[in-house]
Amino acid sequence: GAAGAVGLALGATGGALVHSAVTDSPAGAPGAAGALSSLGSTAVAFEGDHQAGITTPLQAKGHVLAFDLAPGAGRTEAAALMRRWSETARRLMAGETAPTGDSGIALDAGPSSLTVTFGFGHSFFERTGLTARRPAALDPLPDFSSDRLDAQRSNGDLWVQIGSNDGLVAFHALRAIQKDAGEAARVRWQMNGFNRSPGATASPMTARNLMGQIDGTGNPKPADPDFDKRIFVPAAGPGPAEHAWMAGGSYAVVRRIRMLLDDWDKQSLAQQEQVIGRTKANGAPLTGGGETTPLALDKLGTDGKPVIPSNAHARISAPAQNGGAAMLRRPFSFHDGIAPDGTPDAGLLFICWQADPLRGFVPVQRKLDRGDALSAFIRHESSGLYAVPPGPRTGEYVGQRLLE
Ligand code: HEM
């Protein structure tokens, strides 16, 4: 879990947690039962240096979707849409009703850590006549040999990520965002995901994925001295002035990664642990210690071979093996039923955040693509790359510094 480790400590830089008093929360109408639980009453700030939903602790429910601008819609319509979406996000994240025609789906509930995060795809800039201000970091990702990508479920002009610890609150936001799109944009694809619910474990811990692994341990931590530099576009970077609108923003790589769970489940526990290089029980490196003990990559077993195999996923993806390339992984799991061949259509909605994909996702995926042990059990089925602008200031809409 980009989860646990990232999770709890987060919030200082963006998406800061704000505990709203129940009385401030019109949609929260606690009724005779009294105060909302802390789960329901927790609100995440919409304004800030960075958009919410990047360093916010993983939520239990998520929807990610891409929109394409409608034929004939350009910069003016896009700006108006971002203004509508921002106002809706600002209100719903505070536990208020939607600006117009609220559906009532979230009545009785508090904001439940709702976040709504917005990004722009490569094609957005042609549609809006803004290609001169498109950063090179948004250039299409290279092809990888193991890609099995569905173009219909990839890319898109606009990207929205919704997360909440309540399923109805998340769906309420989804409906409001979709209605706001009106005539200006239509849904290109949508994916739904989940994580463990807060409170399900005795104490907060790193999440597990659908292979049963502790996932998120190696994530950069907000307290790391280079965290901001790795995850967010610098304020006064060396980049051209026309890209200044992205200062404080981040790039999201989104991949629907199917897990071949029937094959995976046939592996013994020892085989599964060799694939990652960490134990399944507590995520500790096979070279010993606890979950947060560094991997002893050079340690040899009695057979003279590395204890953490040369093709172990945690070895190949480690920043030290990739010239320091690092990303913040903040995924959701998905399960869309059973595929025609009888296997589960389930896996990871892999979402990773970085200041520059060429120093994050791309070099790591290039190496994994050459054959890490996990590759035999996964399949990348869709791909998107989005420029996620900085958080809005008070009264500003997301993307205003590009679109106004
Ligand atoms: C680490 C699972 C795909 C990058 C890990 C770990 C697990 C894991 C269990 C070890 C614990 C941890 O540090 O979080 C998976 C699964 C995947 C997947 C199940 C697909 C379904 C990817 C992809 C990338 C990636 C596509 C990037 C291209 C990383 C990185 C680490 C990591 C950077 C941390 C390495 C470190 O800090 O030492 N992954 N992973 N993973 N994975 Fe993946």
Catalytic residue among 68, 215, 228, 372: 215
Residue 215 appears among annotated catalytic residues: yes
Distance from residue 59's CA to the centre of ligand 1 (Å): 19
Q: What per-residue confidence (pLDDT) applies to 10?
A: 39
Any atom of ligand 1 within 6 Å of the Cβ of 57: no
E runs forming strands in 34-156: 42-44, 61-69, 115-120
Q: Residue 130 and residue 284: Cα distance in Å, rounded?
A: 47
342 SS3 class: coil
Any atom of ligand 1 within 6 Å of the Cβ of 314: yes
Q: What per-residue confidence (pLDDT) applies to 26?
A: 46
Distance from residue 314's CA to the centre of ligand 1 (Å): 6
Question: Does this model's pTM top 0.90?
Answer: yes
Structure tokens given for 88: 């809706």
Q: Residue 202 and residue 195: Cα distance in Å, rounded?
A: 16
The residue behind tokens 């996990």 is: 374
- Residue 341: exposure state from Cβ atoms within 10 A (0-12, 13-18, ≥19): exposed
Any atom of ligand 1 within 6 Å of the Cβ of 284: no
Any atom of ligand 1 within 6 Å of the Cβ of 378: yes
Q: Which atom of ligand 1 is nearest to the CA of 211?
A: 19
CA distances from 338 to 153, 195, 347, 350 (A): 18, 19, 12, 20
Q: Complex ipTM, two decimals? A: 0.99
DSSP label of 4: I
- Residue 367: exposure state from Cβ atoms within 10 A (0-12, 13-18, ≥19): middle
Residue nearest to atom 35 of ligand 1 (CA): 318
Distance from residue 335's CA to the centre of ligand 1 (Å): 19
The CA-based angle 344-349-354, given to 5 degrees, is: 160
Q: Residue 387 and residue 121: Cα distance in Å, rounded?
A: 6
Q: What per-residue confidence (pLDDT) applies to 31?
A: 43
Q: What per-residue confidence (pLDDT) applies to 11?
A: 34
Any atom of ligand 1 within 6 Å of the Cβ of 333: no
Residue nearest to atom 23 of ligand 1 (CA): 365
Per-residue confidence in pLDDT tens, the chain, 404 aa: 333 333 333 333 344 555 443 344 444 444 445 788 999 999 999 999 999 999 999 999 999 999 999 999 999 999 999 999 999 999 999 999 999 999 999 999 999 999 999 999 999 999 999 999 999 999 999 999 999 999 999 999 999 999 999 999 999 999 999 999 999 999 999 999 999 999 999 999 999 999 999 999 999 999 999 999 999 999 865 567 778 999 999 999 999 999 999 999 999 999 999 999 999 999 999 999 999 999 999 999 999 999 999 999 999 999 988 999 999 999 999 999 999 999 999 999 999 999 999 999 999 999 999 989 999 999 999 999 999 999 999 999 999 999 99
